[in-house]
Structure 1
Amino acid sequence: MVRTVIPFGRPAPNAEIDAEADAFVADRLREEQGKDARAPHGQIGEVWDALGQLDASDFAVDERPAPSRRGLIVGGALAASFALGGVLLWRGQPVIHETALGERRMVDLPDGSRVTLNTATRLAARFDGDRREVVFEAGEALFEVAHRDGAPFDVLSQDGRIRVTGTRFNVYRQAAFTQVDLLEGGVTAGPAKGVGAAVRLRPGQAVRLSTAGQPGPIFVAQAGRIDDWNHGRISFDGASLGEAVAEMNRYSRTPLRVLNPSLNRLPIDGVFEAGDTAAFARAVGRLHGVAARTDGKAWTLS
C-alpha cells in the first residue's frame, strides 16, 4: 500500500472545520496531560520499526494543494518523533569498521583507544557512556586500549569475550577459534556468557578460544608475526607450503593454487611482501624446482 505525503499548506479561509481532526487533537492533549514531555523510548522504537517497513514508493508526493487538518497534525507528530528517535538511536547504534582484501587501516576510537585492522577485517564498535564494546566479526586487528577507571573494554568474538582496562593485544578470528596475543598490560579471555572459567594472560602470552569461548592452553604470543603484518610483510620460518599459501592468499586478489597435494609439505622460509603472490610463486619455483604459472587471475604451483 502506497502512503501519500501531501505538501503542507494553509487551508482555504472558508474551509469547513474537520470534526475528526478536532477529536484527534483533543485526544492527543488528554494523553499529554500529566506526562513527561520526553517521548518514551519504547514509542520511539516503534516509530523507527515502522520506518523500516517503508520504501521509496511510500513517499510519493501528491500534488493536491489543500491538506486536511488531520494530515497536518499527523505529519508534524511523525516528523518530531523521527527527529528525536533518530538522535537516540544514533547514539546507541554500533559503528562498523572494515577493510577490503589486502587493505590495512588504523582507526581512532571515541574513547582514545586505537585499533589497526588487518586484511579483510570487520568489527562493530559501540561506545555509550561507560560501555566500551567491540564485536569482532571477521579478520584480525591490533588493539591499543586507553585506560579508563570503571569502564572495561570488551571484545566479543564468536561466543568468547576478551576484557581489558588498558592494554595492547592482537585478536585473530578464524573459523574454528579466536586467537588472543597479549603484548602489553593484561587481559581476561573466556566465555562471553560466563559459562566456564576464563584465563588471565600476562604480556607475551597467548590463548585460543573455541567457538564456544572456552580457552585452550596458554602459549607464547606471536609478537614477530604481529609486527610483520603491521608493516605489510609476511615471514615464514619452517612453515609448510600449504600453510604459507593460505597465509599469502589472505592478502591478495591473485591467489595461489597448489595442484599436487604432496607439494603442500615442502618447507618454506623467508620474508615476503603481503599480497605479492607473484614474488612468492617465483621464489618457491626457484627454491624447490616447482613450476609456477599464471593466467592473470591466479598463480598455479605444480
Structure 2
Amino acid sequence: MTIEQGMAEIDEQAALWFSRRSSGRLSAAEEAEFAAWLAHSEQHAQAYADMQLLWDDCDQLARPDVPAAEPAPVTPLAPRRRAPTAWLALAATVLLAVGGLLGYQWRQLPQLELSASAGQHELRQLQLADGSELTLNLGSTVQVRYYRDRREVSLIAGEAYFSVAPDAERPFRVDAGAGRVEVVGTRFTVRRSLATLAVAVEQGHVAVQPGRDGLALQQLQPGDSLEIDYQQGALRRSQVPTAEVGSWRDGLLVFRDRPLGELAQELSRYRGRPVQLDGAGLAARRLSGSLDIHQPERFVQALPQLLPLELIEQADGVLLLRERK
C-alpha cells in the first residue's frame, strides 16, 4: 500500500467516525472503540481534526438568497418513513466520498511555498522549517513547496547545495528540467545548465532519474559525481573528494576534468555576461583547476595559457573564445 492509499483509507475512517458520532447514538463500547482509533496514531487524530474543520467551514458558508415565489400546488402523498439505518448509511456514504476527495485535495495543498534567487554577486542561504538548508550559487533560482507527504524543490536556473533534514515520511525531491533527484536526508549539489544536469554527493544516498529515454536511474553514494548530457543522450560518472562538493560556498569553485562548453555556461553566470565558443573542438576540451567565483575575469584571462584559444571582447559584451590558429 502506498502512502497516498494509506492516507485515503484513514480519511475514509475519519469521515465514518464523524458521521457516526454526529448521530449522537454511539454506545459506551463504540465510544471506547473510537477513542482507541483516535489514539492509534498522529495521522488518525489529524485526519479527524481535518474533518471537523472541514465540516465547520462548510457550515459557515453563506447561503444564497432565494427570491420568494408563489407556492406551487401540492398533491398530498402517503407518508413514507426512511429507516434510520438507511439514512445513516446514506450520510456515511456521502461523507466518505466528500471526505476522501477533500482529504486528497487537502494533502495536495502546500504547507510551505516560497521562491528565492541569488543575485549575480552574492550567495544566498535559506533555512527551511524542517531544518533543511539550501545555499544558492550566484544567479541561481529555486522554488520550494512542502506538502504533508513530500518536500519538493524546483531548480529553475543555476546551482544549489542541499543539506536535507531526514524525514522518512516526507521524501525530498529536486526537479531540474527533465531530471529529478530524490533523497530522504543527505548533502549534495545540483547544477542545471542549458543542456546538462550535474549532481555530486557529499553525504548520504541520492537517486537521480535522468528523465531521458535510454538513461537508467542512477544511485549515488558519497564522493560520486554524475553529469548528464541531454544533447548527446549520455551520462558520465566520476569520483570527487567529498570536501570539494559545494566548494563554491567558500567562494572557490574547484573542478576536475570539466568540459569547456559546460564551464563557459558557468562563466557566463559568474560574469553576468555571455561567454561563447567559436570552434567545434573547443566545447569538448576538458579542464581541471579552480575559479574565484567573485573574480571570474582572472580565470578568463588565464585561459589562453591553458588552452590554444584567444579572447575576443565584442561590442555587445559577449566574450568570444576562439580557437587559436
- Normalising by structure 2, we get a TM-score of 0.53
Distance in 2, matches of 1:284 and 1:215, equals 27
Please state how far the C-alpha of 1:37 moved relative to its aligned partner: 3.0
1:156 to 154, 165, 175: 175
Aligned residue-pair number: 222
Matched, 1:98 2:117: yes
Alignment of 1:110-149 (within 5 A): 110-149=129-168
Corresponding residue of 1:178: 197
Alignment of 1:1-302 (within 5 A): 36-39=55-58, 92=111, 94-190=113-209, 198-208=217-227, 216=235, 218-221=237-240, 223=242, 226-235=245-254, 244-256=263-275, 261=279, 264=282, 270-284=289-303, 297=317
**Compared CA separation, residues 132 and 278, structure 1 to 2 (3 A):** closer
Contact preservation (8 Å) 1:124, 1:134: yes
Distance in 1, matches of 2:179 and 2:57, equals 38
**Compared CA separation, residues 38 and 250, structure 1 to 2 (3 A):** same
SS of 1:37's equivalent? helix
Distance in 1, matches of 2:280 and 2:179, equals 36
Contact preservation (8 Å) 1:256, 1:298: yes
SS of 1:94's equivalent? strand
**Compared CA separation, residues 169 and 269, structure 1 to 2 (3 A):** closer
SS of 1:120's equivalent? coil
Distance in 2, matches of 1:267 and 1:192, equals 26
Distance in 2, matches of 1:239 and 1:216, equals 13
Contact preservation (8 Å) 2:309, 2:321: no
Corresponding residue of 1:12: none
Q: Deviations over 1:207-252 (max 9, x none)?
A: 34576xx994543247465343122223466767665544322201
Letter in 2 for 1:166: G
Please provide the CA RMSD for this pair: 4.5
Q: Deviations over 1:112-137 (max 9, x none)?
A: 10011112222211113342111222
Letter in 2 for 1:100: G
Q: Deviations over 1:185-224 (max 9, x none)?
A: 112222679x98533222111334576xx99454324746
Deviates more, 1:174-183 or 1:103-112: 174-183
**Compared CA separation, residues 285 and 146, structure 1 to 2 (3 A):** same
Corresponding residue of 1:21: none
**Compared CA separation, residues 200 and 299, structure 1 to 2 (3 A):** closer
Contact preservation (8 Å) 2:215, 2:234: no
Please state how far the C-alpha of 1:162 moved relative to its aligned partner: 1.8
Deviates more, 1:91-100 or 1:108-117: 91-100
Distance in 1, matches of 2:227 and 2:257, equals 22
Q: Which 5+ residue runs of structure 1 have no aligned equivalent?
A: 1-34, 44-69, 71-87
Distance in 2, matches of 1:283 and 1:186, equals 37
SS of 2:267's equivalent? helix
**Compared CA separation, residues 221 and 94, structure 1 to 2 (3 A):** farther
Contact preservation (8 Å) 2:248, 2:293: yes
Deviates more, 1:285-294 or 1:242-251: 285-294
Distance in 2, matches of 1:237 and 1:230, equals 17
Distance in 2, matches of 1:267 and 1:191, equals 23
- Normalising by structure 1, we get a TM-score of 0.56
**Compared CA separation, residues 182 and 268, structure 1 to 2 (3 A):** closer
Please state how far the C-alpha of 1:170 moved relative to its aligned partner: 1.0
Identity %: 26
Distance in 1, matches of 2:124 and 2:317, equals 25
**Compared CA separation, residues 222 and 39, structure 1 to 2 (3 A):** farther
Distance in 2, matches of 1:120 and 1:264, equals 25
SS of 1:116's equivalent? strand
